[in-house]
Homo-oligomer: A and B are copies of this chain.
Amino acid sequence: MATIADVASYTGLSRATVSRVINDYPHVSKDKRELVHEAMKELGYFPNTSARNLRNRRTNLVAVLIPRLTNPFFTLILDGIEKVAEENGFQLIICQTKSSKKKELEFLNLLQTKQVDGVIFTSIENNWEEIQPYTAHGPIILCNEYHHDATVPMVRLNQVQGSYLGTKHLIERGHQRLAYCMGSTSGLSNDRRKGFFQAVHEAGLEVKSEWIFHDTYTMEDGVKTFNKILSLTERPTAIFTGGDEVAAAMVKEAKRNGLDVPGEMAILGFDDQPIASMIEPELTTIYQPGDEIGGRAMSIFMDCLKGKRDHVSKSVMELPLSLVIRKST
Contacts and interface: CB of A to CB of B under 8 A. Distances in A.
Interface of A: 1, 46-51, 53-54, 59, 61, 68-70, 72, 75-76, 78-79, 82, 86, 91-96, 109-110, 112-115, 219, 245, 248-249, 252, 255, 274-275, 278-280
B79 A278 contact: no
Contacts of A274: 219, 245, 275
Contact of A54 (B51, B110, B255, B275): B51
Given A48-B54, A112-B46, A274-B275, A69 B59 contact: no
From A59, A76, A114, residue with most partner B Cβ within 10 Å: A114
For the complex formed by this chain, how many copies does it contain in all? 2
Contacts of A54: 48, 50-51, 53-54
A70 B59 contact: no
Nearest to A75: B69
Contact of A50 (B53, B92, B249, B252): B53
Nearest to A78: B69
A46 B252 CA distance: 52
A118 to B, nearest CB: 14
Nearest to A85: B94
A48 B278 contact: no
A70 B72 contact: yes
A228 to B, nearest CB: 20
A113 B70 contact: no
